Structure 1
Amino acid sequence: MAAQFGRRLRKGAATTAVAAAAVAALSASQAPGVTVDGQGRQTATDATPAPEETADGVGATGNSPYYTDLPPLNSPNPSPSASTGPSASGKTEAGIPATVLDAYKKAEAALREKKPGCNLPWQLLAAIGKVESGQARGGRVDADGTTLSPIIGPQLDGNGFALIKDTDDGVYDGNSAYDNAVGPMQFIPSTWEWAGRDGNGDGREDPNNIYDAALAAGHYLCRFGWDLSDQGDLNKAILSYNNSTDYLNTVLSWLEYYRKGTHEIPDGTGSLPVDRSDDQDRVRPTPSAPGTSTPGAGSRPEKPAGSSPSPKPPTSPGTPSKPPTTPPPTTPPPTTPPGTPPTPTDTVDHLEDAGTAKLTAMAGDAFAQRISTRAETDTGKAVAKVRIRFTLVGDTDTTFTGGESVATVVTDSSGVAVAPELRAGEKTGDVTVRATVVGRTVPGLDYRATVTERAADTLVRTGDGALTCTAGGEFADRVEVRATYDGAAADGVAATATLITSADDPSPNDKGPYFKDADGKAVRTLSGLETDADGLLKLPRLYADDTTGTFLLRVTTAGGATLTVELTVAAAGTASPSPSASPSADPSASSGA
């Protein structure tokens, strides 16, 4: 099975007929906004993402080729049968190797907790895993989920492929000249560097491990705040993985198929795809990392944009073409082969700030400003089509939109890359965002962003009833206040409540009303209070000692908002008096600077 997967296989003559027949079956179950084309693939109506939605420019896979096999016509989970006809085919295709299936489901569960608004279905990971590597070569993984041999794609050298020069010194792909897509989900090293996750808890982030790769793919698809239950966001997420409309349609077809039902099969027994999106008659040697198999699944040369497949003589379905006769090179080619024109990245000399304003935001809020970086040559000329990576440095919970700590953006025609929106975390202080050029060693450019504590500028009582009780008694009403900032509810703002001596003396009083601590003892200062999601704060119950008179309660918040409330304690056995105006108390709200 592994040998079959490693060969370049011709498309079977029956493929077109099967695909055409698939139209009727798929049409009955297509998702909203999706149609079915003449090849049986689902076609999205909005298949072009906005630039910021494919900010890394080349997707998770470097826009490498992929497998185009379509789901079978029959139900994905038919009744058991010894038949070798269509029913058996459907049951085989619906089967997903046990460890691979477990990895997809664990990734879905993790994303449901970390990013519940994404609504990631595990079937989407299965669909991508199918077109990227045939479910890790039919489930050829060990008990920990690591592929028995690495799945290495072709070197992306620009010669019939995308051009991505080495970014990992060959650590992941064994190639120190160019990048290759790696692992069952086919991440290129520069994407894995920030998207990689530890999905099996072994302390490593390994693109060749299906648990790590599936979790990384889930996070990748859930960035930018996309909701994958929305067809438009789903399309954008898939296109950001590999920016090809045909890729989108193929993934959507497998997604719909897996949603109808799947079942677990033993590892290593999964069916293998045979059709790829590249020109499979064209044989090119590709380098292999030490100890790896010759690239097969995942070893997918890419046709130049706009090219069409070469005519292929019909063969029997599943009959492999002749294997390559030229062995892979034992050493990688030079970093810049003779005669190779410089890429835009090669011409970058330095980065310049492109007019970024001061970066300040309150904890939990989005920064109003965005970082802009300009790539320039040594003469100051702008360089377009260069990937700029923005990385949050150090221990911070501030993130880019979607919860990521790294974002890659391609420079526009003016050489400028604008980072995604930053969202402040709860940790206050300075945060460093570093801009670097992907694929070239030039000094990075650091930006400082400041996160301030949550604050309020106004406090008001939510009620206007008098706050009175008799000596030795309990106040009937609890004090509730509302905090706002610039007119909006100020949530999560720290507050302190103190029973003060007088309007001119904010020190705690030693008599009069008091709160109770956990042991029932009297306390006259409460710190560590916090407003709720609506900016509301309800104080604990107040009690009175034997001292009668008028007393003051002062509430203050971060940001300087202050509210002073009057409390009245009457002698026992008398009716609670109406509160009298006190020249030392001002119950109205005051604003802090």
Structure 2
Amino acid sequence: MGPQFGRRLRKGAATTAVAAAAVAALSASQAPGVTTDADGRQSTTGAQPSPDEYGQDSATGNSPYYTDLPPLNSPTPSPSTGTTPPATGETEAGIPATVLDAYKKAAAKLRGAKPGCNIPWELLAAIGKVESGHARGGNVSTDGTTLSPILGPQLNGNGFANISDTDGGLYDGDSSFDRAVGPMQFIPSTWEWAGRDGNGDGVKDPNNVYDAALAAGHYLCRFGWDLSDQSDLNSAILSYNNSTDYLNTVLSWLEYYRKGTHEVPDGTGALPGNRSDDPAGASPTPTPPPSPRDRGSASPKPTPPSSGGSSPTPSPTPPGTTPPATPPTPTDTVHHLEDAGTAKLTAMAGDAFSERINTRAETKDGTAVGKVRVRFTIIGSTDATFSTGETVATVVTSSAGVAVAPALQAGEKTGDFTVRAAVVGRSLPGLDYTATVTARAADTLTRVGEAALSCVTGGEFAEQVQVKAAYKGAVADGVAATATLIKSADDPTANDKGPYFKDADGNAVRTLTGLKTDAEGLLTLPKLYADDTAGTYLLRVTTTGGAALTLELTVTVPEPTPTPSETTSESASPSASPTA
């Protein structure tokens, strides 16, 4: 039988001895704010940071986490054998097989999807250790799904954040308040946009370690962070749970796992015993919500969570006494959302939108409400995203009640799409904004090269036409273009004689469509040929956006070549005979 969640780890005498000898050596290299006790355990101290500058939800809703830190002695590459119990470092370094596999596969996928992030699998392991003790010591099925729910306490504002239910209890079994869910402890509102399918079964399940590990990796890699940079690494970890103590705890496990780890059987991993909110207890476990694999169209009706653990026990109210009213939160006072001066949202395909969405939260009488979370969601048939690379962003309103969404980034699909603003934690009508993506365009075309474009009848032009497109002085890449051999400057219809291109079958064509400029704004046309009609002709190139360039082509009759008989006749002509 595997160890139970919440059990404290035994500290052997060997660990204590190693710790005592290494305290001084470690102090220079450990994470900032980390101290070490006499048993070789580290602990974290330090002020809490200010709210995340990006105004995003934390992945966990800043839920409690496990504060146990690695021992001072470095982990060994494999567990000890024999009857002697493994040293503490060996026990701590072991990661359950399925969970370890999930961390490594998630990091491998991210190396392909977001190579600039440079996320190490050891970071996912460090967060997984701190959030859930590696899914309760690897208490997972063969496909990586937890065998029992891993749930944080109610985020009801009583010692924690106040996050009213956002999923109808779908993920966390609680229809009153949100709870962190699964091995990586995502709150439902964050999972809704950050969730990923890590094991390819077509389901995004926060209770599955493959799905949760991949989601955590994408979450940590947003904002273009490079996790090989210490500053970006710190920012990413703090965005997961906004606490300096949390940062230092994760950094300590990250460094520990980088020194070496090994695989242990599922269900046998070491478990933490100290939690940030209640060192002696584990999270309460309400009746399990249905797995996403079993959910129908109707939302489940969760059973209220059991009492105990770290859930606060309300004080009994004396008979005849009216309990004090709970003051409303800023979110409770919001009546509606108003646009706060957003300009027209238009961008060319591939470009960033220059305007950003501004939304104001207001009470019924129009008073601005600060410190309210507003979620912006991109909906509709589009490949546009926010500058973060995601299609959902949550921003906290300022003291003026205004939430400014991240900049929008247009994709390649043109047309309109919608961005919907909604108050997190309230069932209020959303506020929709229409954004438009236009086709890539050019306003200027210039020819590259100055050689004359000439040819003799029945021949081919030596020079291939190359043009360069620009838009407002910048390179215009990916712009659609058309090339036509026209009848005249006043008649842009295709000519029926003169120069021509060839199609795949070698037939003459005088209009080419579907052309596109390259990354440098260049467009090189296919080779041109001439029929047997001499004269001066025009080639016109046009692009989306109205750029046009007309070039002159000349076809001449070749000069006659002397025939052999003419050459012989001239050379055989008699010269004048000398007179006597």
Map of 2:571 onto structure 1: none
Map of 1:583 onto structure 2: none
1:311-330 alignment, distance < 5 Å: 326=308
Map of 1:493 onto structure 2: 479
State which drifts further: 73-82 or 374-383: 73-82
The percentage of aligned residue pairs carrying the same residue is: 73
Does residue 275 of structure 1 match 2:274?
A: yes
Q: 1:453 to 1:45 in 2, by over 3 A?
A: farther
State which drifts further: 252-261 or 40-49: 40-49
Q: 1:421 to 1:547 in 2, by over 3 A?
A: same
Residue identity in the other structure for 1:289: T
Structure 1 residue 350, shift from structure 2 partner? 0.6
- SS of the aligned residue for 2:126 comes to helix
Higher relative contact order, chain-length normalized (CA < 8 Å, sep 6+): 1
1:64-463 alignment, distance < 5 Å: 64-78=63-77, 81-82=80-81, 88-281=87-280, 286=284, 288-290=286-288, 326=308, 339-463=325-449
Structure 1 residue 70, shift from structure 2 partner? 2.1
Counterparts of 2:247 and 2:402, CA distance in 1: 29
Structure 1 residue 229, shift from structure 2 partner? 2.2
Counterparts of 1:134 and 1:254, CA distance in 2: 11
Counterparts of 1:20 and 1:54, CA distance in 2: 42
Counterparts of 1:563 and 1:107, CA distance in 2: 51
Residue identity in the other structure for 2:515: L
Q: 1:270 to 1:156 in 2, by over 3 A?
A: same
Counterparts of 1:221 and 1:91, CA distance in 2: 28
Does residue 519 of structure 1 match 2:505?
A: yes
Counterparts of 2:164 and 2:11, CA distance in 1: 35
Structure 1 residue 256, shift from structure 2 partner? 2.2
Q: Is the 8 A contact 2:55 2:394 kept in 1?
A: no
Structure 1 residue 46, shift from structure 2 partner? 13
- SS of the aligned residue for 1:154 comes to coil
Q: 1:85 to 1:373 in 2, by over 3 A?
A: farther
Q: What's the C-alpha RMSD, in Å, of the aligned pairs?
A: 3.3
Q: 1:226 to 1:48 in 2, by over 3 A?
A: farther
Q: Is the 8 A contact 1:66 1:132 kept in 2?
A: yes
Superimposed CA distance per residue, residues 108-161 of structure 1 (whole angstroms, 9 cap, x where no aligned partner): 233233323222222211111111011111111111110011101111122222
Equivalent residue for 1:552, pick from 513, 516, 538: 538
Map of 2:494 onto structure 1: 508
Counterparts of 1:90 and 1:61, CA distance in 2: 28
Q: 1:18 to 1:449 in 2, by over 3 A?
A: farther
Counterparts of 2:454 and 2:247, CA distance in 1: 68
In the alignment, structure 1 segments of 5+ residues that lack a partner are 293-323, 576-593
Structure 1 residue 41, shift from structure 2 partner? 6.6
Map of 1:55 onto structure 2: 56
Superimposed CA distance per residue, residues 338-377 of structure 1 (whole angstroms, 9 cap, x where no aligned partner): 6221111111111111111111111111111111111111
- SS of the aligned residue for 1:218 comes to helix
Counterparts of 1:11 and 1:369, CA distance in 2: 58
Counterparts of 1:129 and 1:397, CA distance in 2: 32
Residue identity in the other structure for 1:357: A
Counterparts of 1:567 and 1:46, CA distance in 2: 75
State which drifts further: 141-150 or 194-203: 194-203
In the alignment, structure 2 segments of 5+ residues that lack a partner are 291-305, 316-322, 562-580
**TM-score under structure 1 normalisation?**
0.82
Map of 1:296 onto structure 2: none
Counterparts of 2:392 and 2:283, CA distance in 1: 34
Residue identity in the other structure for 1:157: N
In the alignment of these two chains, the number of paired residues is 533
- SS of the aligned residue for 1:149 comes to coil
Counterparts of 2:258 and 2:560, CA distance in 1: 73
Superimposed CA distance per residue, residues 544-569 of structure 1 (whole angstroms, 9 cap, x where no aligned partner): 22222222211111000001122222
Map of 2:456 onto structure 1: 470
Structure 1 residue 207, shift from structure 2 partner? 0.6
Superimposed CA distance per residue, residues 14-62 of structure 1 (whole angstroms, 9 cap, x where no aligned partner): 99997786666657877xxx65743487999999577443422xx1101
Structure 1 residue 383, shift from structure 2 partner? 1.0
Q: Is the 8 A contact 2:19 2:73 kept in 1?
A: no
State which drifts further: 337-346 or 80-89: 80-89
Residue identity in the other structure for 2:54: E
Q: 1:86 to 1:236 in 2, by over 3 A?
A: farther
Counterparts of 1:43 and 1:493, CA distance in 2: 55
Q: Is the 8 A contact 1:469 1:570 kept in 2?
A: yes
Q: Is the 8 A contact 1:432 1:449 kept in 2?
A: yes
Counterparts of 2:169 and 2:95, CA distance in 1: 31
Does residue 528 of structure 1 match 2:514?
A: yes
- SS of the aligned residue for 1:133 comes to helix
**TM-score under structure 2 normalisation?**
0.84
Does residue 483 of structure 1 match 2:474?
A: no
Q: 1:529 to 1:45 in 2, by over 3 A?
A: farther
Map of 2:569 onto structure 1: none
Q: 1:326 to 1:222 in 2, by over 3 A?
A: closer
Q: 1:246 to 1:534 in 2, by over 3 A?
A: same
State which drifts further: 515-524 or 527-536: 515-524
- SS of the aligned residue for 1:5 comes to coil
Superimposed CA distance per residue, residues 476-532 of structure 1 (whole angstroms, 9 cap, x where no aligned partner): 222111111111111111111111122111111222222222222222111111111
Counterparts of 2:45 and 2:541, CA distance in 1: 56
Map of 2:320 onto structure 1: none
Structure 1 residue 274, shift from structure 2 partner? 2.2
Superimposed CA distance per residue, residues 42-94 of structure 1 (whole angstroms, 9 cap, x where no aligned partner): 999999577443422xx110111211222333333446643788974333333
Superimposed CA distance per residue, residues 227-257 of structure 1 (whole angstroms, 9 cap, x where no aligned partner): 2222221111111000011111111222222
- SS of the aligned residue for 2:213 comes to helix
